[in-house]
A and B are shown apart, each in its own frame.
Chain A
């Protein structure tokens, strides 16, 4: 089964982190991605620009509206994601616990619903 790991975290903490801590975090993510690939679990994943760069589009009563900012304003924002192939939810949770973001924010694990 495939799972989406959504990495939620505090963007301002990351932005104000010391250079060395930021580099350590990047190295940890690099190692984590590498470990996912070596274990044959990695399907995909990307880092996202900060939530301020987001735009939300809606069509209501036939009119399009575009709003600046993320869909949900909250302290912790979606900062990136992985898609992994895991035998079951338990295996996916183990991989989520290894994601560096789990120690600083929260990893939401969602099973992917195959439609085709």
Chain B
């Protein structure tokens, strides 16, 4: 099968894949068993489609095939583990379904993946694997971990879900506020990992997967404003992907991007999602971040950027999160409003912070502000930023700026 056909098949299949993993695992909390049962159906789909071409209703085809295999597998397992009530329940539930689609429990699975019992760094990889069916190798590369190591860690996390009794249900209203945060963080971590990834192709893929997760979350939790805020934020950022490189492949900073290359349909959707979130009247971190992106996106109509508004939004975000990344962005916005010296003064608040030794964005921002303010140290800061950069296009951009600096008297 051609790469395209396979990719198309996987795309159609993945909505069903996550739904079926979530459904089968919800009774037993046995994610690996659910995945094993599904792997067969998934492989069969790719085999049959390669021969006969994708069916008219690929999703329906996959759901039917997967369900048949699930029932077989569950029946076999029931014989082996006679008397397991959870398994019996699933078989009964599957048989009762008939031709109807399996109930969607992906949101419950998301909460299980982002449960406090699961190590924070594994929550996003676990979601990408169980809900989207990404293999350990792909997840490992995106998170810069050895595939064998990632495979072991994911296996341990899944064992923990079963052994520790991590629940497969939506948290109660009292627990909701503290449990939704880690779900949002994990999805955003997957997106950010994609966005910052060194390879443009890989980055785009993972960002799209994260947006997909965001859609599942919004669909399942329509009254959670931060879910819509997160989806809006990801859509804004992703809408600019084509403008991040010029035709020669060189890096283009946001302020210099040609708005003609932005994905306006994606921005329109982001605006709509953010509006829906705001209407719920409960602001939060992701809504503020999306509002900042909205302010940047407004340049497509107005031709200018409302930096005072962006600086004020970062101010609020910093008060909320205390994040050094936000502090850097706020300094950059302040520099646009009050000049580079004001930006540098704001960056000084981070002096002595332990993260600075390998915090690329800090050095890139500081270099730019020092160069614009004409103060000493810009060359050194550019070199620090260069040494920490992973993206060759961004590295070339920084190198150009550094050279321009040394050419001037």
A residues whose Cβ falls under 8 Å from a Cβ of B: 24, 27-28, 30-36, 38-40, 89-90, 93-94, 97-98, 100, 102-104
A31 to B395: give the CA distance in the assembly, Å.
10
Instruction: Find chain A residues with CB under 8 A from B402 CB.
Output: 27
Within the complex, which residue of B146, B386, B392, B396 is in contact with A32, where a contact is CB–CB below 8 Å?
A: B386
Q: B386 contacts A28, CB within 8 Å?
A: yes
- Chain B nearest CB: distance from A106 CB in Å? 13
A110 to B377: give the CA distance in the assembly, Å.
35
A89 to B153: give the CA distance in the assembly, Å.
14
Given A28-B395, A31-B383, A31-B387, A93 and B198 contact (CB-CB distance below 8 Å): no
- Chain B nearest CB: distance from A21 CB in Å? 9
Instruction: Find chain B residues with CB under 8 A from A30 CB.
Output: 383, 387
Within the complex, which residue of A24, A33, A39, A97 is in contact with B357, where a contact is CB–CB below 8 Å?
A: A39
The verdict on B389 contacting chain A, using a C-beta distance below 8 Å, is yes
Smallest CB-CB separation from B143: which chain A residue? A90
B residues whose Cβ falls under 8 Å from a Cβ of A: 144-146, 149, 198, 357-358, 382-392, 395-396, 399, 402
Chief secondary structure at chain B's binding surface: helix
Q: A38 contacts B384, CB within 8 Å?
A: yes
- Chain A nearest CB: distance from B152 CB in Å? 12
Q: A24 contacts B387, CB within 8 Å?
A: no
Q: B390 contacts A28, CB within 8 Å?
A: no
Smallest CB-CB separation from B357: which chain A residue? A39
Smallest CB-CB separation from B363: which chain A residue? A35
A102 to B202: give the CA distance in the assembly, Å.
15
A76 to B388: give the CA distance in the assembly, Å.
24
Q: A35 contacts B384, CB within 8 Å?
A: yes
